[in-house]
Amino acid sequence: MTTETVVELRELTVRYGRMTAVDRLSLEVGKGRVYALLGRNGSGKSSTVRCLLGQRRASAGSLRIFGHDAWKQRLEIMEKVGVVPEQPDVPPETNAEKLARFMVRVSPRWRSRPFFDRLETFGVPRSRRFDKLSKGQQKQIALALALASTPDLLVLDDPTLGLDPVARRELFEELIGDLADHGTTVFLTTHDLAGVEGIADRVGILRKGSLLVDEDLESLKARCCRVTCSATDDVSSERFAAALDHLGVVRTESMAGAAEAVVQHFSEVSFGRFRDEAPVEVLRVESLPLEEIFIALCGDNGGRP
């Protein structure tokens, strides 16, 4: 693993008229890392990706890829970038064989064999018109196109959209991990949180254009937990709530005989203070999957780290 920076955003801001879609976003992605940018619809993910690919000029701030300005030096950068868009941008009347012949002429890094090998693996017809393929087959062609150019940076915009469970597993458990192991950097947006959990090194979580989280996945999962305690009565409820402040409570819920809290600042020190001050018995502490962490932070009542 190297600390070389491949993607660098500094105070990136994107506005559409008076609406701010991305608000002073700063993050870095190191070489060989898999970075997952997460967020609900409308959180600013697509605007960030468009700026990343030089398709839109930022309203403010900067975005650099391989040390170059993503807007001013787009042509030079994109020679080393593979892209799988949310909706494949392929002429409807073409097919895989025509695409391969075109890529041979325009991309010096193109490799036809892995392109056709991947299509064969997933049963994608080589001669069928693109608009006659299923959504999953169309996505496999877009993915095969990106990979066959041997990119140094692979940008995936919601890559599992339209894929069946077998193809999703292939993508997340084998493809992205294998690319990262060989030094390819991966930047992806996705709603498939269960799939990305096993392969992302680091995650960013956007909420209404602002970055709530930019953290190694293991660190995020270590501090976000569910704490279940014996139920509190009316007399002790205020003390219970006050003690939870040490843990950074996001959400609480009462149930028969117990009280449950999702917290975002769990540590041995903060938990020790909670146990000393809370008028309850701690029944269990559980780590949370990424999907539950995301819901807790980005739901209607989500909190900020």
- Count the neighbouring beta carbons within 10 Å of the beta carbon of residue 256: 5
Give percent of the chain above pLDDT 90: 55
CA angle 262–267–273, rounded 5-degree value: 90
pLDDT digits (tens, 9 = 90+) for 144-201: 999 998 999 999 998 887 777 887 887 787 777 777 777 899 999 998 898 888 889 9
pLDDT of residue 305: 41
pLDDT digits (tens, 9 = 90+) for 257-304: 777 889 999 988 888 888 887 777 888 899 999 999 999 998 765 544
**What Cα–Cα distance (Å) separates residue 214 from each residue in 38, 67, 203, 286?**
10, 21, 6, 22
pLDDT of residue 46: 92
Per the model's pLDDT, the better-predicted residue between 196 and 27 turns out to be: 27
- pTM of the full structure: 0.88
Residue-range domains of the chain with CATH: 5-216 (3.40.50.300), 225-287 (3.30.70.100)
